[in-house]
Structure 1
Amino acid sequence: MKYKISLFLLLTAVLFSCQNQDEKRRAENAKEAKKKEAIFNNINKGWTFIDEPINEISESQLNSWTEWREFMKELGDKPRKTIGAFQKKSAAISKKAMALNNNIPAQFNEPAIKSRISILITKIRMLDLFIHLNKIPDDKVVFLVQEINKEMISLERQMDKIVERAKVPKEEGEEDFLRMLDTARAIPNAVAPRNQLDQNAAKVE
């Protein structure tokens, strides 16, 4: 009889313990789900990219740059519903951004543009890194979206400067002057042959 009572009490204790563990697990799962929902909502709210050229000059000049058009199209397609969708979109944007180093239009193929593209790519890759972490720092993700927008504006404004500069007519002789300033095109000083130098030295003596 005592054995049966002991067994009953043991089973009751085990059952009670399991019930407490289940309740604790459910509470933790609910807490984790609420946290993930807050992260998703913050990222979803802050995920707003500039997906259109900032002015007509940029738009008209960039129509022929396939990599840029595909990059902008990728930015404009906002993910929905899950963090996983944002992670996939981030990876796709990063891939399109890397392609911006290819086929840069001749007009924009200069250091000021290339350096801005490099900075833009770096920030996009940082975004892709942060959003794939186990514990996503959502505030950093939103901050990087804002930083990427700033870099895009800076890049397009630099393009506009180049376009405007090309419209200004050059004064007569300006191109020749600019060529003279180009050290790569400069004519090296002719060095007199050694035997001529020796003859000159003999005359002086």
Structure 2
Amino acid sequence: MKFKFLLFLVPLTVLLSCQDEDAIREKERLKNVEKSEVLFEKINKSWNFNAFSGSEEVRSILKNWNEWNDFSRELSQKPKSSINAFRKKAIALSKKAEALNNNVPEKFNNPQVKSRISIIVSQVHSLDLYINLDKIPAEKVVGIIPNINKGMQSLEAQFQEILRKEKIPLEQGESDMIKMLDTSRAIPSSKPILPVN
């Protein structure tokens, strides 16, 4: 009799414990869905990149820079559906930002522009890194977006500065002085270089 009772009690206990585990799993799933929705709303609210608003002259130079146009287009398109859409967008932005170092227009191909591009690239890589973690640190993702906007503004200001400086006329003799400062034009030394003992 006791044996039959035990045979009945063991499956009943297993059945009840499985139902408890299912209820716990369902609660965890609902918590994760809620966290994901809150995270999506927070990132969606702050995912606003400033459009490039350079002068007509700057835009006319940049229109032939395909990498810049691809990056700007990618930056202006905001994901709408889910966190995974933001993750895919961050990956695409990272690839497009990496390509910015290619084919820079001759007028803007200088160390000041290159350094600002490097800053933007590193910030976009950081955004890509943080948003693709298993547990997304929303504060860090939200904090990087204004930094990318500042980097874009700095790059835009540098473009404007280059064009402004280009319009300043040279003073009399200034071009000769610039040529004299160019070390690549220096006369090579005729003295033989002695080996150091």
**TM-score, structure 1 as length reference:** 0.86
| One-letter amino acid of the counterpart of residue 167, structure 1 | K
1:188 to partner: Cα distance: 4.1
Structure with bigger gyration radius: 1
Aligned counterparts of 2:156 and 2:167: Cα–Cα separation in 1: 17
Aligned counterparts of 1:39 and 1:57: Cα–Cα separation in 2: 41
Match of 2:178 in 1: 178
Q: Is the 8 A contact 1:51 1:73 kept in 2?
A: no
| One-letter amino acid of the counterpart of residue 87, structure 1 | R
Q: Is the 8 A contact 1:42 1:138 kept in 2?
A: yes
| SS at structure 1 position matched to 2:184 | coil
Match of 2:158 in 1: 158
Aligned counterparts of 2:139 and 2:50: Cα–Cα separation in 1: 19
Computed over aligned residues only, the root mean square deviation of the Cα atoms, in angstroms, reads: 1.8
Match of 1:199 in 2: none
Aligned counterparts of 1:14 and 1:188: Cα–Cα separation in 2: 92
Identity %, equivalent residues: 49
Q: Is the 8 A contact 1:67 1:99 kept in 2?
A: yes
After superposing the two structures, state which structure 1 stretch, 2-11 or 14-23, moved more.
2-11
After superposition, residues 128-167 of structure 1 pair within 5 angstroms as: 128-167=128-167
- CA shift digits 1:31-74 (9 cap, x unpaired): 11111111111111111112333444432332221211111001
Q: Is the 8 A contact 1:94 1:125 kept in 2?
A: yes
1:117 to partner: Cα distance: 0.7
After superposing the two structures, state which structure 1 stretch, 61-70 or 159-168, moved more.
61-70
Segments of structure 2 that go 5 or more residues without pairing to the other structure are 192-197
Q: Is the 8 A contact 1:94 1:124 kept in 2?
A: yes
Q: Is the 8 A contact 2:74 2:93 kept in 1?
A: yes
After superposition, residues 73-88 of structure 1 pair within 5 angstroms as: 73-88=73-88
1:190 to partner: Cα distance: 5.5
Aligned counterparts of 2:57 and 2:144: Cα–Cα separation in 1: 26
Runs (4 or more) in structure 1 with deviation over 6 Å come to none
Aligned counterparts of 1:94 and 1:5: Cα–Cα separation in 2: 65
After superposition, residues 26-37 of structure 1 pair within 5 angstroms as: 26-37=26-37
1:77 to partner: Cα distance: 0.9
